[in-house]
Amino acid sequence: MILRPCLDDIKNIGYYLGKIIIGVGLTMLVPAILGFSLGEINPALDFLAGLEISLIFGFLLTKLCFTEKDTNWMQGMIVVSLSWLAVMFLGAIPLYLSGHFKSYLDACFDTMSGFATTGLSLIQDLDHLSYAHNLWRHLIMFIGGQGIVIIALSFFMKGASGAFKMYVGEARDERIKPNVIHTSRFIWLVGLVYLVLGTLALGLIAFLEGMGPFNALFHGACVFMAAFDTGGFSPQSQNILYYHSLSFEIATITIMLLGAINFRLHYHVWMGNRKEIFRNIETVTLFIAIISTFFITAAGLAQTGIYPQAMALFRKGFYQLVSGHTGTGYMTVYAKQFINEWNHLALSGVICAMALGGAVCSTTGAIKMLRVGIIFKAMKQDIKRIIFPPQAVVLEKFHHIKKVFLEDKQVRSALMITLAYLLLYGIGALVGMWLGYPFLDSLFESTSAAANVGLSCGITNAAMPASLKITYIVQMWTGRLEFMSVFTLLGFCWAAIKGK
């Protein structure tokens, strides 16, 4: 028998959802202050309007649903899934008011793409967007990459029990420190330290390439936030191609790889355990996967002959491959070049890279390397069981911060999430084909959306059908949260309707 949710469930969900809305709403002060300081009065007012609406909703929820109870597993999961939808609608307000979107749905699309660190965009005339709005597009990527709920855990939560349930609901299941709130604060510390260093490095490169001091620093900050949080937004419509700089491309590759690494691994490297990089199952699997998928992509590009020189292959082929594999979506080619110049084999290599993704507990989406490594370890174990004598006890272990013995529940979990992602990729491709797009194009764009990548072959634009926009929004939301909190929300809604 399914039990209908009670009033306490609603109050707990509403209270903590309100806190998260307040936390995200307050971040709108950052672009508002920038707008006022640069004389961009109307853009600054757009953010004050968004802030006011967010605070009204947030405080109403916290007052009407006030509680001192911690969340249980179901409530924590639902808070997470609803918070991502709430901040999409509220975060889209200042973007829509900018006048650079054809509809509010388009602004919601870009906001979900930003928070989910995807990078697909429907914005119009990006090159003339205000500094304040441009900063917001990249700031929401920084917030989303670190984790929307991480804001609440870092600054607004006290109870560690309920906090851990929401932390897990946001597709993070590894504690870096014993207390999950301290873990959240460490994640922010990593992001902020790298933000300062990355902004200075990219700003210096842009300055040396001829950009003015302020613009160089602004572009450096924006590009870093999108690269480290594996998002893919850029201040200019030409994306990374705008800079025409090998140094800029090498720097962004480095930052993208840093963003694709487990925060727990960052912690151990910071603590001096640098050997962990070379023996961790995730980093080893990531290296093998990048080499394998690049081999496929390079073989396809060799057939076309469009990049005959090694440097051109690196800047056009390898860059797109790493961008896709880390889930960033930065591009040094135009979207239509994927279809018009790359062949099916090269595209297949990039699709595989996007589908696999980076590390767990990082800023990336997709299946992730730990799950891929576990599945291959399980295959190795099964082969040994076939070859070895029946009485032999076959144990398989892997190194992930420490030695871990492979268990059936780990394999089952990895397989279930992998199958769920493959199904999500396929559903989006079928919707695209149903709307008249070719199969490979549809699969490319669907994988990019569901894996939170942002590479585009040209399907994503303001003129595409509204049903496809909604499909990609749902894919970005579901893929970023890795299913469980979304499934919990659906079950909660079903219980509210059918429960007794």
Check residue 161 and give its pLDDT: 47
Does 164 have pLDDT greater than 50?
no
**Residue 39 domain boundaries:** 1-173
Name the residue type at position 286: L
What number is the average pLDDT over the span 172-199? 72
Q: Quick one: pLDDT band at residue 299, thresholds 50, 70, 90? A: very high
Check residue 444 and give its pLDDT: 96
Does residue 279 form part of some domain? no
Does residue 24 form part of some domain? yes
Instruction: Give the number of C-alpha atoms closer than 13 A to the C-alpha of residue 213, restricted to the C-beta side.
Output: 0
Does residue 21 form part of some domain? yes
Q: How many domains is the chain built from? A: 1
What number is the average pLDDT over the span 234-248? 93
Does 397 have pLDDT greater than 60?
yes
Check residue 197 and give its pLDDT: 92
| Spatial distance between the Cα atoms of 148 and 141, rounded to a whole number of angstroms | 10
Q: Quick one: pLDDT band at residue 179, thresholds 50, 70, 90? A: low
Q: Quick one: pLDDT band at residue 387, thresholds 50, 70, 90? A: confident
Instruction: Give the number of C-alpha atoms closer than 13 A to the C-alpha of residue 364, restricted to the C-beta side.
Output: 33
Does residue 336 form part of some domain? no
The model carries a pTM of 0.91
Q: Quick one: pLDDT band at residue 361, thresholds 50, 70, 90? A: confident
Check residue 160 and give its pLDDT: 45
Does residue 253 form part of some domain? no
Does residue 442 form part of some domain? no
Task: Quickly count: other Cβ atoms within 10 Å of residue 200's Cβ.
Answer: 14
Does residue 366 form part of some domain? no
For the stretch 306-335, pLDDT in tens is 999 999 999 999 999 999 999 999 999 999
The least confident of 63-77, 103-117, 407-421 is 63-77
Q: Quick one: pLDDT band at residue 169, thresholds 50, 70, 90? A: very low
Does residue 134 form part of some domain? yes
Contact 322, 257 (CB under 8 A): yes
| Spatial distance between the Cα atoms of 146 and 362, rounded to a whole number of angstroms | 8
For the stretch 40-83, pLDDT in tens is 999 999 999 999 999 999 999 999 988 877 777 787 788 888 99
| Spatial distance between the Cα atoms of 135 and 253, rounded to a whole number of angstroms | 21
Does 170 have pLDDT greater than 70?
no
Check residue 180 and give its pLDDT: 60
Task: Quickly count: other Cβ atoms within 10 Å of residue 404's Cβ.
Answer: 15
Does 277 have pLDDT greater than 90?
no
What average pLDDT does the structure give for the chain? 88
Minimal CA–CA distance to 240: which of 119, 366, 84, 117?
119
| Spatial distance between the Cα atoms of 371 and 414, rounded to a whole number of angstroms | 5
Check residue 173 and give its pLDDT: 57
